[in-house]
A and B are shown apart, each in its own frame.
Chain A
Amino acid sequence: DQQVKQNSPSLSVQEGRISILNCDYTNSMFDYFLWYKKYPAEGPTFLISISSIKDKNEDGRFTVFLNKSAKHLSLHIVPSQPGDSAVYFCAAAGGGTGGGNKLTFGTGTQLKVEL
């Protein structure tokens, strides 16, 4: 039972254009959402997050939008750069036990930004 879904395994975008990565979730207990970026041979790196009390969070070229009623979030990258080529993981937190919040990850979307 996959509670966090990234239905697009890959996305190809031209440099300078907008990249939109999507994520859906099913668990209503999730109250915090994160995006991680992963380059080959490296661990996931935290990129941006959003609390469920907000619907938008922006950090430079990166913006995350949250639609709670649709249980959907998206990451927008504008403008896209070749260095943005990586795997992007969506993760959700909430309802954890035992101290230390548990993250539930999606399967990732491979973004390729082409020149």
Chain B
Amino acid sequence: DAMVIQNPRYQVTQFGKPVTLSCSQTLNHNVMYWYQQKSSQAPKLLFHYYDKDFNNEADTPDNFQSRRPNTSFCFLDIRSPGLGDAAMYLCATSRGGNIQYFGAGTRLSVL
């Protein structure tokens, strides 16, 4: 089945220790998105790639970076995680239209 896969499902890191979250897709979609969702809040878009073009949201902290080495993979790097970065991180893909397809998410804990 074509899908969006996020690894790991659960990630624990230490305060200030860099962490990388991974997303892969077999849908061959050209757009990939990263969202942050905190408890009882709406998913919030951090940034997205349209093909190789990176589009950052204005209020995304510099602490968050992303890489897309090829169509299938996209990474979220958090350079110095703080306690406030503990959240669910959702990856999504689309063909450039409005409907996005989501992975199961990575729940990040910061100790």
Contact = CB atoms under 8 A, between A and B. Distances in A.
B90 interface: yes
Contact of B102 (A45, A49, A104): A45
Nearest to B95: A100
A41 interface: yes
Chain B interface size band reads 20 to 34
Interface residues of A, number: 27
Interface stretch (B14-22, B38-46, B63-71, B73-81): B38-46
A87 B44 CA distance: 16
Interface stretch (A12-20, A62-70, A73-81, A105-113): A105-113
A103 B49 CA distance: 14
B48 A43 contact: no
Contact of A43 (B4, B30, B42): B4
